[in-house]
Structure 1
């Protein structure tokens, strides 16, 4: 089946080719059977944060790409909501479930922007998230990737920055029951960078950052050729983070805040466990195995 693209501003035939008009920010959100209510919260908080940015810099421009890997609802009203604030929202469909990273790469191929935001459909942005992110990146040209403070539904910090993992770290954190995890608390504390990640201090060059919110300079992301689409799901963000350090600095910036509603693979069923293990093998085969 050929790929179809629906835009709030153009007919399908007009938008199959990469968008020529340059914008400040492009955003890609990959969808697969999304929770509709959560998706609407994600996009509404992005719009609110964008409106806050416009109050500071009213000349800013953005494009949003919703990449439908399957099972998405009718997105017409969402496209209209973006059009109401002069954001072009493009829905890309028809390519099938190509995986998380490959879905974002489809959007990246069509974007023409200064910055590109990889955004999960289960994230909510603070109102000032984009104001603070843009201010930092424009004042610090050596940084090509920004990762935010990530909280959970209770407002507690999620430690999603990582040091390079061992196989034991991944298996214990991902699949061990809580009682067993306490026996490995010290090593998990180090793996999750709890000694340096907090809600106050910027951290330079955390080795691995979460794919739920990755704000890149688009030039850097293009030079990296986006995600490695050999990962169908899981570890594509680990891979991309490590490669990003080859081209630029990475910043953990707690002034940029989001809430992430995602869960671990073990809580999503056996299919996700299998995908996790398969991607783990790909990751270690590429970057080197560390067992203990």
Structure 2
């Protein structure tokens, strides 16, 4: 069911309020610098289009105990971007960290951003222009590429346990045996086709692709919808909080994949980060399937 359009946040009198939250935990400072620099450049590009009818707030949520810095404050102030640093709450997890910002912000649009994502200069402008044209769309996913320039297929169909195992833990020839099913899971036939019609998995719609699940590395929402569905489920510490949020959002409104919004993602999978992350991945997988339904093969 689509949410009533009156519940979708809209700018009043032509003024737009955009907010951004970034959760960090012992971050790679070089990548974080690139992320925030690209954000500033993208805000400048957006402001060049929208002039003074734009307010921007950035909230940096520090889940670590040893990274408290005002390094970014002067740069954001110079760019007329309101900046907040949230510290002292401990390592509460990715979703709960973003919720700290989402709960008190009153913006029209909110960007959930990873600290290892570099956005194109026009990424924000492209996203808001798309929102302007598609009032029933509540969330946007960008085109994501890696540092090597190759597309990262981060939009998803609903997964099976086998899909997650093959994609996350198999390599080389072993993973190649599952190439066709992984391509389907990653929506490659749609994401790679540069579509001119909107395809919501299972039905044809308007002028964009509407994936059931999008990546938490870069999700832009109409804040009204994000608040209506309660933000992230705090029961996920790490992994699958974006799957959960996507499915709850897509139950009430449209999600759009917008290839004109382009970002570079430097992150990696859980299996590359050691046993601690593998255990967190397994726990979140169990929680996700228990909530939305188990699919094995």
Q: Which TM-score applies when normalising by structure 1?
A: 0.90
Displacement after TM superposition at 1:75 (Å): 2.4
Is the counterpart of residue 47 in structure 1 residue 40 in structure 2?
A: yes
* Contact 1:34-1:72 at 8 Å conserved across structures: no
1:27 to 20, 23, 27: 20
> Is 2:280 the partner of 1:275?
yes
Q: Which residue of 2 aligns with 1:12?
A: none
State which drifts further: 241-250 or 114-123.
241-250
Q: Which residue in the other structure is 1:220 paired with?
A: 225
CA distance in 2, matches of 1:53, 1:161: 25
Structure 1 residue 260 corresponds to structure 2 residue 265: yes
Q: Distance in 2 between matches of 1:39 and 1:72?
A: 15
Q: Distance in 2 between matches of 1:275 and 1:89?
A: 31
Q: Map Cα deviations across residues 167-217 of structure 1 (whole Å, 9 max, x no partner).
A: 000011101122200111111010011110037336432010000000000
Counterparts of 2:243 and 2:63 in 1: how far apart (Å)? 21
Any stretches of 5+ residues in structure 2 without a counterpart? Answer: 1-14, 199-207
Contact kept? 1:23, 1:63, Cα under 8 Å:
no
Matched, 1:133 2:127: yes
- Aligned residue in 1 for 2:79: 85
- Deviation of 1:71 after TM superposition, in Å, equals 4.4
Which stretch of structure 1 is more off in the superposition, 280-289 or 68-77?
A: 68-77
Q: Which residue is 2:155 aligned to?
A: 161
1:113 corresponds in structure 2 to 107
Q: Distance in 2 between matches of 1:72 and 1:128?
A: 33
Match among 223, 239, 243 for residue 248 of structure 2: 243
SS, match of residue 104 in structure 1: helix
Q: How many residues align?
A: 271
Please report how far the alpha carbon of residue 23 of structure 1 lies from its aligned counterpart in structure 2 after TM superposition. 5.9
Instruction: Report how far residue 256 of structure 1 moved.
Output: 0.3
- Is the CA contact 1:101–1:227 (under 8 Å) kept in the aligned structure 2? yes
Deviations 1:72-106 (A, max 9, x none): 53421201110111111100011100000000000
Question: Measured at CA, do residues 199 and 122 of structure 1 come closer, stay the same or move farther in structure 2, by a change above 3 Å?
Answer: farther
Indicate conservation of the 8 Å contact 1:149/1:199, yes or no. Answer: no
Q: CA RMSD in A?
A: 1.3
Q: Is the 8 A contact 1:265 1:272 kept in 2?
A: yes
1:57 aligns with 2:50: yes
Q: Distance in 2 between matches of 1:284 and 1:164?
A: 10
Shift of 1:30: 0.2
- Structure 1: give runs of 5+ residues left out of the alignment: 1-21
Name the SS of the counterpart of 1:64 in structure 2.
strand
Change (3 A) 1:76 1:103: same
Q: Which residue of 2 aligns with 1:5?
A: none
